Structure 1
Amino acid sequence: MVETDRRRLRGEKARAGVLAHSARIASVEGLEGLTFGRLATEAGVAKGNIQVLFGDKEALQLATLESAVDLYRVAVVAPALALASPGERLRALVAGWFQFVQERSLPGGCFLTAASSEYRSRPGAIRDRVNQHRNEARERFETLAREAVAAKELPAATDPARLAFDLLAYQAIANVAASMGDAAQFTMARERSLEIVSAK
């Protein structure tokens, strides 16, 4: 039993290590750019071991997507949602996204924004999962906006759906700007995003 647990822990550690490499690769080259051979070389793991861990390419792509989303949740979402008021949570969520991208927590910026573009016209399990994460991000913004209005931290006339739409649009612009080295557009998107969640 103890040896089984040790093997399981070794397997989980190996899987996490491989996914850290795959998320970095895919954030720049896209999920379609992932191959077992490239990943084996970058992670210093035998190609056969990666196949044992994930099975096929789509399983690797899905696991990479989840790993990248989890990285963002831990770095940005969880700390933001731990704050006291909905207005504080909303502002921290917005500021945290821009910091995450600017600091290149993943070299390609926001993984979900890039994956949404990559899979916008590719039906299948990956597109479905990307869309689910997109919906969760939008609903998170909408929920916090509604709560902030109720707490009088945003104007009563605020439309939560419109606010979420605007924030996600600014994120899309900023992610491209960050990748293209356009600091002015990135800064403008960040400032405008913070303005609309701070208005009273």
Structure 2
Amino acid sequence: MDQVDGRRLRGDASRRVVLERAADLASVEGLDGLSIGRLAAAADVSKSGVATLFGSKERLQLATVEAAAQRFREHVLEPARVEPRGVRRIAALLDAWIAYSRDRVFPGGCFFAAALVDFDAKPGPVRDAIAAAYRSWNDYLRISVGYAIEQGELDAGTDAALLAFEFVALLDAANAQSVMSGSAEPYALARRAIAPRLVAAGAPDDVVRRFLEVDDLAA
């Protein structure tokens, strides 16, 4: 029994390592191009070993999306949850997302921005998984804005869905421009664009000031 458990533990560890490499690779080369053979070469493991772990290209891609979503949660959602629900958590989420892209948690920038381009017009389980993960982030941000409105930290007339949409659009644009240019300047510009939207919605000055004080060029 111990022998079986040991094999399972080693298999789980191998799976995690391979998926980490898969997510990194897909963020640069595209999820659609990720295959058992390509991953085996990049991760320096046998094709049969990767095939044993995942079975098919589609299952590999689905597992990679879930691994990427978990890494996103660890770097963006979980750090922000130290702040109470409301404006401070919104600022923490935006700041964590910028750091996630700026610091290249995935070598190619935001994994999901790249994956959406790959699969936006390709129906199927992989597209559905990518869309669900991206929607989950959008919904979390929108719900966070809603809490701030309910708590009186943002103006009652604030459109939570619209404000969250604007935030996501600015973050995605900063990611795309930074990946293309190799510069952190787009993140500083995103902060400067986000701050007036927070102010217009009634966010406290101290929260907006701390958000703006982060120096993305020096980070």
| TM-score normalised by L of structure 1 | 0.93
Report matched runs for 1:65-144 at 5 Å: 65-144=65-144
Question: In the TM superposition, what whole-angstrom CA distance separates every residue of 1:45-87 from its partner, at most 9, and x where no partner exists?
Answer: 1110000000000111111111111101011101212322322
1:147-177 CA-to-partner distances (Å, cap 9, x unmatched) read: 0012222222211010111011112211111
Q: Which moved more, 1:26-35 or 1:13-22?
A: 26-35
Instruction: Determine if contact 1:90/1:197 at 8 Å carries over to the other structure.
Output: no
Deviates more, 1:181-190 or 1:19-28: 181-190
Matched, 1:21 2:48: no
> What is the CA–CA distance in structure 2 between the aligned matches of 1:59 and 1:177, rounded to whole Å?
31
SS in 1 for 2:84: coil
Identity of aligned residues (%): 38
Q: Do 2:31 and 2:115's aligned partners in 1 also have CA atoms closer than 8 Å?
A: yes
The structural deviation recorded for 1:139 is 1.1
41-50 or 91-100, which deviates more = 41-50
Pairwise CA distance, 1:193 = 2.5
SS in 2 for 1:51: helix
Report the Cα distance in structure 2 between the residues aligned to 1:120 and 1:190, rounded to whole angstroms: 27
1:25-44 matches, cutoff 5 A: 25-44=25-44
CA distance in 2 between counterparts of 1:163 and 1:21 reads 35
Q: Could you say which residue in structure 2 is the equivalent of 1:12?
A: 12
Q: Secondary structure at the match of 2:41?
A: helix
Structure 1 residue ranges (4+ consecutive) displaced by more than 6 angstroms after TM superposition: none
Q: Does 1:191 align with 2:186?
A: no
Aligned equivalents of 2:137 and 2:85: distance in 1? 18
Aligned amino acid, residue 54 of structure 1:
F
Kindly indicate whether the alpha-carbon contact (under 8 Å) linking 2:143 and 2:160 is maintained by their aligned counterparts in 1: yes
Aligned pair count reads 200
Cα distance in 2, alignment partners of residues 183 and 100 from structure 1 = 12
Write the distance in 2 (CA, Å) between the matches of 1:88 and 1:4: 48
User: What code does the residue aligned with 2:88 have?
Assistant: E
Residues 194 and 109 of structure 1, relative CA distance in 2, 3 Å threshold: farther
The residue type paired with residue 79 of structure 2 is: P
Which residue pairs with 1:167 in the alignment?
Answer: 167
Partners of 1:197 and 1:157 in 2: CA distance: 13
CA 1:2 to 1:106, structure 2 compared with 1: closer, same or farther past 3 Å? same
Matched, 1:176 2:176: yes
Q: How far apart, CA to CA, are the structure 1 residues paired with 2:125 and 2:100?
A: 27
Q: C-alpha distance in 2, partners of 1:126/1:155?
A: 39
2:141–2:164 Cα contact (<8 Å) kept: yes
State the Cα deviation string for residues 21-49 of structure 1 (Å, max 9, x = none).
11111001111121222211221211100
How many angstroms apart in 2 are the aligned matches of 1:48 and 1:195?
Answer: 54
**Which whole-Å CA distance do the structure 1 matches of 2:13 and 2:60 have between them?**
16
Change (3 A) 1:6 1:194: farther
C-alpha RMSD of the superposition: 1.5
Q: Deviations over 1:119-149 (max 9, x none)?
A: 1110111111111112211111111101001
CA contact (8 A) 1:148 1:154 kept: yes
